[in-house]
C-alpha cells in the first residue's frame, strides 16, 4: 500500500534536518548502498538495523508521526497481522548513488532492468528482487517494511522506482513507485517481493521495520502496537 503523506507535515522537518547531519555521517551515508549486489558482498558497509537513527534524535517527531499512522490507521485495518507488532527498528538511511551513464542504452535512455552482466561502472545498479523477511530462511522479525523517501524534485526520468511484484508466481509487476520526497511506502516484509531500479541521481531513503520481536539495541518499543494498547487499556499491567 502506498500511503501519501501530507507535504505540510513532513516537508519542513525533512528539509531542515538533512543539512544538520554531521558531515562525516553524511559522507558515510552517501557511500552506503546497503544492499547493492554491485558492492561485491561488502555487507560490512551496511549499517546494522537501527544504527543510524539512534544517532539522530531530530528524527523523533517524524517517527512518531509514522508510528501514529501505523498504530492508529493501519492496525485497525489489518488487526490480525498487526497484533504481533512489538518494536520498531531504528531508521536505516540508504543512498543509491546515481547510476553510471554506461548503463544507458543506445538511445541514451536509462537501462532499467536488473544487472545481469556484472559489468563494472560507478554508481548503483539498484537492488535486485528480494523479500525483506524470508521466513523459510529463518524469521528475522520484520513484519511491516516502511520507507520514507527523501528526494526533492524527483520525476520518472530519474528512474530509481521501487518495483513491487505480485505475491504469487509468475510474480507480475504490481506497481512502480517513484522515491519522491515525503512519500511513505508500507508493505508486508515477508510477502511483497520488490526491487529498486537504478537511479539517475543519488537516491536517498529512510527505511525501518515494525517487528514482532522484543526490544533490543536495534529497536525501540512500539508504544502504539495494538497489543500494547490492549494491555494498557485493560489495566492489567498495573495489577499484581
Ligand X SMILES: O=C(O)CCC(=O)C(=O)O
Return d(Cα 114, Cα 166) in angstroms, integer: 17
Of residues 58 through 87, those in contact with ligand X by CB under 6 A are none
Q: How far is the CB of 236 from ligand X (least distance, A)?
A: 37
What's the rounded Cα separation, in Å, for the pair 216 and 205?
A: 23
Q: Which of 162, 163, 129, 150 is nearest to 202 (CA)?
A: 150
Query: According to the binding rule CB under 6 A, does residue 127 interact with ligand X?
Result: yes
* 212 binds Fe ion, rule: CB under 5 A: no
Contacts (CB under 6 A) with ligand X, residues 33-62: 34-35
Residue 35: name its binding partner from ligand X, Fe ion, none (Cβ under 5 to 8 Å by kind): ligand X
Q: Is residue 205 a contact residue for ligand X (CB under 6 A)?
A: yes
Please report how close the Cβ of residue 111 comes to ligand X at its closest, in angstroms: 18
Cell, residue 229: 494498547
Q: In this complex, which beta carbon is closest to ligand X, that of residue 190 or of residue 224?
A: 190
Cβ burial 116-141 (10 Å sphere, 16+ → b, else e): eeeeeeebbbbbeeebbbeeeeeebb
Which 82-111 residues touch ligand X, going by CB under 6 A?
Answer: 94
- Quote the crossing angle between the two packed helices 7-17 and 60-68, to the nearest 10°: 150
Binding residues for Fe ion, rule: CB under 5 A, are: 132
Binding residues for ligand X, rule: CB under 6 A, are: 34-35, 94, 127, 132, 147, 162, 179, 194, 196, 205, 207
Amino acid at each position: 500500500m502506498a500511503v501519501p503523506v501530507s507535504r505540510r507535515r513532513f516537508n519542513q522537518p525533512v528539509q531542515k534536518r538533512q543539512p544538520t547531519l554531521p558531515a562525516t555521517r553524511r559522507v558515510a551515508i552517501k557511500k552506503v548502498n546497503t544492499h547493492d549486489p554491485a558492492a561485491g558482498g561488502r555487507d560490512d558497509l551496511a549499517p546494522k538495523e537501527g544504527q543510524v537513527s539512534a544517532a539522530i534524535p531530530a528524527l523523533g517527531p517524524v517517527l512518531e508521526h509514522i508510528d501514529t499512522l501505523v498504530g492508529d490507521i493501519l492496525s485497525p485495518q489489518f488487526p490480525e497481522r498487526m497484533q504481533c507488532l512489538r518494536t520498531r527498528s531504528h531508521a536505516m538511511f540508504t543512498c543509491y548513488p546515481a547510476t553510471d551513464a554506461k548503463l544507458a542504452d543506445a538511445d541514451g535512455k536509462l537501462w532499467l532492468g536488473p544487472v545481469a552482466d556484472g559489468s563494472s561502472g560507478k554508481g548503483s545498479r539498484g537492488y535486485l528482487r528480494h523479500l525483506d523477511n524470508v521466513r523459510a530462511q529463518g524469521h528475522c522479525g520484520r513484519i511491516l517494511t516502511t520507507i520514507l523517501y527523501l528526494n526533492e524534485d524527483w520525476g520518472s526520468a530519474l528512474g530509481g522506482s521501487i518495483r513491487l511484484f505480485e505475491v504469487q508466481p509468475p510474480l507480475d509487476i504490481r506497481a512502480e513507485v517513484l522515491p519522491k520526497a515525503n512519500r511513505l511506502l508500507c508493505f508486508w516484509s515477508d510477502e511483497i517481493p520488490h526491487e529498486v531500479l537504478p537511479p539517475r541521481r543519488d537516491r536517498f531513503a529512510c527505511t525501518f521495520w515494525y517487528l514482532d520481536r522484543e526490544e533490543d539495541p536495534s529497536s525501540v518499543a512500539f508504544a502504539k502496537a495494538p497489543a500494547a494498547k490492549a494491555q494498557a487499556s485493560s489495566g492489567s499491567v498495573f495489577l499484581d
